Amino acid sequence: MALPKFTRSFTQQEPISEEAIAAAVEVMRSGRLHRYNAEPGEMSVASELERAFADYQGSRYCLACASGGYALQLALRAAGLEPGEPVLTNAFTLAPVPGAIAAAGGRPVLVEITEDLVVDLDDLAAKADATGARFFLASHMRGHLADMEQLAALVAERGLTMIEDCAHTMGATWNGRKSGAFGKVACFSTQTYKHMNSGEGGLLTTDDPELAARAIILSGSYMLYERHGAAPSADVFASIRLETPNNSGRMDNLRAAILLPQLADLDTNIARWNARYQAVEMRLRQVPGLKLPVRPPEEHYVGSSIQFLIPDIQPNDARRFMRQVSASGVELKWFGAEEPSAFTSTHKSWAYMEPQSLPKTDAILAGLFDMRIPLTFSVEDCRQVAEIIAASAANLPIGRAA
């Protein structure tokens, strides 16, 4: 029996709350949209957000900036990246991650992944040794955390500076410790499809005062660094303020006003996402031929998207599967496609960097499918979507020879 077509949008977000709208209107009525346009002794809304997010994250310092990708660039430059220097990062990530490395003057070196969609620690160790890299940009792609204790031990042993890309793990934890608390610096995104929505925006957190000071100057503070809500003391800036270029990429008060009320709701929304994720996961784990990444008990994830593998699926079958689910109203992304599509691409499309051999990752991506889970879906909507995927997968000749 044919299942009814799913008719809800996979790109429709929940509306901005009335509280956030009121806060944004108040900023607009004031005319003080620029983060440094404040009365003497007054903390701007952007500074309030920095203080609140630092407290949420358990970090000493926080910087609000223009985007998550820009935060990654700031982190790399503030951590001391030199032009042409290798930066290790997961081979399974989104284009802004190697893009940030390139924009900061670095050379992306991609590390293999496992079928659980996290960095392969053995390959990371081997490539750290082979390249002499000083930096590892850990991309927690699609919300999947590696064993963070093992990863932290490995980077310490190899003398790597770890920068955590937490665009998909804002609010997630490993053994009760926040994602972003394992490296020297962490970067978060508030782009529309992330866990807080300001259209675009980024947050950088660290406990290192000199790195925080360099990031603040780089972001475009001029000599107004003392107006930040979670910044080092003025003495830390004594020489840094003169040695560090201004590359304007600030967050404005309007976006900060929209975000502050969302931060108060973040943990509640994480529980809502996970209920929806688990409804899809439960059904898909019953489907022969589908393999879902293992979520270890130490990982408290944010299920704003879900991924599954169909190992050994042939390209023609993958394309047919994609057409079938699309005709049923379900929007999947396939990482094995030859051409990049919207937000989905792989290292083979990033022609600005040198080609790299990643046979393990390529084999995984060839059968990897990805789906956004918006909070505008009910749990019952998610069950319907899972049934459509299951019915479409049932028609696949899994493992058929080419």
Q: Which domain holds residue 39?
A: 18-260
Do 270 and 256 belong together in one domain? Answer: no
Q: Which of 236, 260, 284 corresponds to the end of one domain?
A: 260
pLDDT at 352: 93
The answer to whether 316 and 341 have CB atoms below 8 angstroms apart is no
Q: What is the pLDDT of residue 344?
A: 87
Query: Which one has a higher pLDDT value, 338 or 51?
Result: 51
Q: What is the predicted pLDDT for the residue at 402?
A: 35
| Residue owning tokens 């440094």 | 36
- Residues 213, 157: Cα–Cα separation, whole Å: 27
User: For 208-214, what is the mean pLDDT?
Assistant: 98
pLDDT tens digits along 83-107: 999 999 999 999 999 999 999 999 9
Residues 186, 276 share a domain: no
Q: Do residues 223 and 239 share a domain?
A: yes
Q: What whole-number percentage of the chain has pLDDT above 90? A: 93
CB neighbour burial string for 321-343, b if at least 16 within 10 angstroms, e if fewer: bbebbeebbbebbbbbbeeeeee
Q: How confident is the model at residue 1 (pLDDT cuts 50, 70, 90)?
A: low
Q: pLDDT value at position 396?
A: 87
Pairing mode of beta strands 61-65, 202-206: antiparallel
* 136 and 230 co-located in one domain: yes
> Is residue 13 domain-resident?
no
176: left (phi over 0), alpha (psi -120 to 50) or beta: left
Residue 226 CB contacts under 8 Å (≥ 6 apart), including other chains: 234
Same domain, 357 and 248: no
Counting the structural domains of the chain, the total is 2
Residue 7 belongs to a domain: no
> Among 84, 125, 121, 79, which Cα is nearest to 102's?
84
Instruction: Report the range of poorest mean pLDDT among 1-10, 29-38, 145-154, 169-178.
Output: 1-10
Bridge-based pairing state of the strands 86-90 and 135-139: parallel
Residues 333, 369: one domain?
Answer: yes
Q: Are the C-beta atoms of residues 146 and 298 closer than 8 Å to each other?
A: no
The confidence score (pLDDT) of residue 386 equals 98
Asked if residue 9 belongs to a domain, the reply is no
Q: What is the mean pLDDT of residues 363-368?
A: 97
Q: Among 198, 232, 260, which residue terminates a domain?
A: 260
Q: Are residues 389 and 341 in the same domain?
A: yes
pLDDT range class, residue 398, cuts 50, 70, 90:
low
103 and 247 in a single domain? The answer is yes
Does 11 fall in a domain? no
pLDDT computed for residue 229 by the predictor: 95
Instruction: Choose the weakest-confidence range: 201-205, 241-245, 351-355.
Output: 351-355
Does some domain include residue 123?
Answer: yes
Alpha-carbon span 350 to 244, nearest angstrom: 30
Specify the CATH number for the domain of residue 215: 3.40.640.10
pLDDT tens across 44-70, in order?
Answer: 999 999 999 999 999 999 999 999 999
Alpha-carbon distance of 45 to 38, in angstroms, equals: 9
| pLDDT of amino acid 401 | 37
In terms of domains, do 178 and 241 share one?
yes
Which of 205, 231, 260 finishes a domain? Answer: 260
Do 196 and 313 reside in the same domain of the chain?
A: no
> Could you tell me which residue, 40 or 159, shows the higher pLDDT?
159
Cβ–Cβ under 8 Å, residues 333 and 10: no
Mean pLDDT taken over the chain? 96
pLDDT in tens, 123-132: 999 999 999 9
Interacting residues of 245 by C-beta distance below 8 A, sequence separation 6+: 217, 218
| pLDDT range class, residue 41, cuts 50, 70, 90 | confident
Interval 212-236 mean pLDDT: 96
pLDDT at residue number 7: 97
Backbone φ, ψ for residue 221 (5° rounding)? -85, -5
Interval 166-181: pLDDT, tens: 999 999 999 999 999 9
**CATH code, domain carrying 347:** 3.90.1150.10
* pLDDT confidence of residue 342: 77
Whether 400 is in a domain gets the answer no
Residues 348 and 245 in one domain: no
Per-residue pLDDT for 238 more than 90? yes
Q: What residues form DSSP beta bridges with 178?
A: 173
Examine the domain organization and report whether 205 and 298 are in the same domain.
Answer: no
Evaluate if residue 2 carries a pLDDT over 80: no
Residue 3, in any domain of the structure: no
Cα 254 → chain centroid: 22
Q: Where are the beta strands (DSSP E) in 91-238?
A: 107-111, 135-139, 161-165, 173-174, 177-178, 185-189, 202-206
Whether residue 12 lies inside any domain: the answer is: no
Q: What pLDDT score was predicted for residue 343?
A: 82
